[in-house]
Amino acid sequence: MTAPILRIENISKRYGKKDVLKGASLDVKKGDLKILIGPSGAGKSTLLQCINFLVKPDEGRIWLDEQEVHYANKRDLYAYRQKVGMIFQDFNLFDHLTALENVRIGMVRVKGMGKAEAGERAVLELERVGLKEHMQKYPAQLSGGQKQRVSIARALAMDPRVMLLDEPTSALDPELIGEVHAVIRDLGNNGMTMIMATHQIGFASSLASEILFMEDGRILERGTPDKIFNHAENARTQEFCSKITELYGERG
Amino acid sequence: MRHRVPLFHTFLKAIERMPESLIAIMDALPYLLQGSIVTLIVVVGAMGLGFALGAPLAVGQVYGHPVLRRFIAVYVWFFRGIPLLVFLFLFYFGLCTALDINLSAFTVAIIVLGLISSAYQSQIFRGSILSLPEGQLKAARALGMSDFKAISFIILPQALRLSIPGWSNEYSILLKDSAVTYALGVAEIMARSHFVATRTYQHLPLYFAAGVIFLVLTWAGTKGLRLLEERARIPGYSPHGL
Ligand SMILES: Nc1ncnc2c1ncn2[C@@H]1O[C@H](COP(=O)(O)OP(=O)(O)OP(=O)(O)O)[C@@H](O)[C@H]1O
Ligand SMILES: [Mg+2]
């Protein structure tokens, strides 16, 4: 058995009196695509943000490449975050920068690369997501699907070991979802390791190496897409899956 | 009906004195315009100082340690709470004398107006920072940026753009407040018009001219900041879909 790239152990998070995460654990191997599903408020976003410490977990430990991450140490934290790409539901492109500058800024300001070299790499990444001709546009001049693809290029430019995607298509019109899915599918085919929260179960079941069903701060059930969608053991998983199949169309 | 006649007379008298008034203004104009340069230097200096202090204060008040935030809140309360004239006297006649510091009235004017402006400007910037979506900082952190880098390269460039309309306001307030520094003897517009008016007894035309110069300076500065706002606008970005 190969060692996991990312190892998440017993992550817990409390907001006031509310336990939002109650000990979530997860091993991710190279090339895995783990899909988080579950009802609204289950804690999917909180878990993803705990993984790169945008939200500080109250308990739990994380290892990347078998090195434990000590997030209290700022240097460790910044180095770790460079290796963990994050894609947000509402894109969060830097509004005052062009697509090219959005992709370049991490390389220049965090990795300390030269502007020219970083610019070349940024063009490559934008080309990869099919946006080379839009590289001089500002976020406000791009469609939602284009914005999300820029944000994927921005994350890829940092050469991440793992990508976290938090409902990358749920703010998009149906006709724009496909273009973002195509980019993610491409990433998966090229061996990118990913953890993604989504409600798009058709897409999820065609790509996922494992589906994790979350509810109420816990990962209740996990397994192959076939197991979770067709032979779930937990009644809550079955109920959720049949509801979401109705909403988001056929699995396949 | 009855009081129309004296009113008419007054009006006629004023007309009669018109040439005299015009001459008084023309005579004093170069002297007053020199004063407007002094005024502008004081205002621009104070705005600059207010910016240099106000921007870090705003950042500290939004992102800083609770103790720092408390301290900044007190700072803002202090500098916004004391009347300008009290402050000028306190600093110039009080502090400078007590500590035996030799500063010109002109320098004191810039420092005092700048300190007060820093309190106001910090609140302009703070409002702009708070109006940015939380996701901007999150995305910057997710790339591995330290908070210092995220604030310098992502937050402030956007917040400062949003602050330009507030600045325009701050400029026109500073411009008018600068007239108070006449009390220290700074040779700005107000001091000079007062000086000429008391010597020539041409009060009306001289204060009128001073008022007009202030109006022109307000107009020019506001216009300039409007152009800056236009130039700094992010393409495609229109907050109200206009
Ligand atoms: N900053 C916060 N303060 C207090 N409560 C929070 C905060 N962030 C999230 N929560 C709560 O934590 C719970 C989990 O939220 P989270 O956003 O992780 O759910 P989710 O599974 O991503 O839901 P969705 O599918 O709607 O995105 C919710 O009950 C939410 O109200
Ligand atoms: Mg969520």
Would you list the DSSP string of A27-81?
EE-TT-EEEEE--TTSSHHHHHHHHTTSS--SEEEEEETTEE--TTSHHHHHHHH
Min Cα–Cα distance to chain B from A217, Å: 22
Cβ within 8 Å, pair B143-A105: yes
Q: How far apart are CA B191 and CA B176, in angstroms?
A: 13
What integer pLDDT is reported at residue B168 of this predicted model?
A: 94
Dist. CA A50–CA A55, nearest whole Å: 5
Listed residue (A62, A32, A46) closest to A193, CA to CA: A32
Q: What is the pLDDT of residue A251?
A: 43
CB contact under 8 A, B146 and A90: no
Q: Is A249's pLDDT higher than 80?
A: no
Query: Is there a contact between A135 and A99 (Cβ–Cβ < 8 Å)?
Result: yes
Spatial distance between the Cα atoms of B121 and B115, rounded to a whole number of angstroms: 10
Q: Is ipTM strictly over 0.85? A: yes
**Mutate which of A21, A45, A214, A243 to test ligand 1's pocket (most atoms within 8 Å of Cβ)?**
A45
The answer to whether the Cβ–Cβ distance between B139 and A96 falls below 8 Å is no
* CB A2 less than 6 A from any atom of ligand 1: no
Nearest to B179, CA basis, from B32, B15, B23: B32
Q: How confident is the model at residue A250 (pLDDT cuts 50, 70, 90)?
A: low
Write the pLDDT tens digit of every residue in A82-130. 999 999 999 999 999 999 999 999 999 999 999 999 999 999 999 999 9
Q: 10 Å Cβ neighbour count for A5? A: 19
Within 8 A of B135 by CB-CB distance, chain A residues are 88, 90-92
Share of chain A above pLDDT 90, in %: 85
**CB-based contacts of A7, cutoff 8 Å, min separation 6:** A26, A27, A28, A62, A63, A64, A66
Measure the CA–CA gap between A6 and A4, rounded to whole angstroms.
5
Report the separation in Å between the CA atom of A43 and the middle of ligand 1, taken as the mean of its atom positions: 6
Residue A93: predicted pLDDT: 97
Contact, A81 vs B147, CB < 8 A? no
Among A249, A250, A245, which residue's Cα sits nearest to residue A37? A245
pLDDT for residue B3: 57
Q: Given the CA of residue A47, which atom of ligand 1 is nearest to it?
A: 18
For residue A184 the two structure tokens come to: 């993610």
Instruction: Tell me which residue has its CA closest to atom 4 in ligand 1.
Output: A15
- Residues in chain B where the model's pLDDT stays below 70: 1-5, 238-242
Rg (CA), chain A: 18
CA distances from A217 to A13, A24, A49, A204, B174 (A): 9, 8, 13, 21, 54
Residues A63-84: tens digit of each pLDDT: 999 999 999 999 999 999 999 9
CB pair distance less than 8 Å for A94 and B139: yes
Helix (H, G, I), strand (E, B) or coil at B1: coil
A90 lines ligand 1 (CB under 6 A): no
| Least confidently predicted of A39-43, A210-214, B2-6, B41-45 | B2-6
Q: Tell me, what amino acid is at B104?
A: S
Mutate which: A71, A84, A96, vs B, most B CBs within 10 A: A96
Q: Is the Cβ–Cβ distance between A100 and A135 less than 8 Å?
A: yes
The answer to whether the Cβ–Cβ distance between B142 and A78 falls below 8 Å is no
Q: Ligand 2 centroid to A167 CA: how many Å?
A: 7
Predicted local confidence at residue A1, as pLDDT? 62
- Minimal Cβ distance to A96: which of B142, B157, B238: B157
Helix (H) or strand (E) holding B38: helix B4-63
User: Of A74, A95, A148, which to mutate for an interface test with B (greatest number of B Cβ within 10 Å)?
Assistant: A95
Range scoring the smallest mean pLDDT among A54-68, A230-244, B32-46: A230-244
Q: What separation in Å is there between the alpha carbon of A52 and the centre of ligand 2? A: 15
Sheet holding A162-166, edge to edge: A84-87, A162-166, A193-197, A33-37, A210-215, A218-223
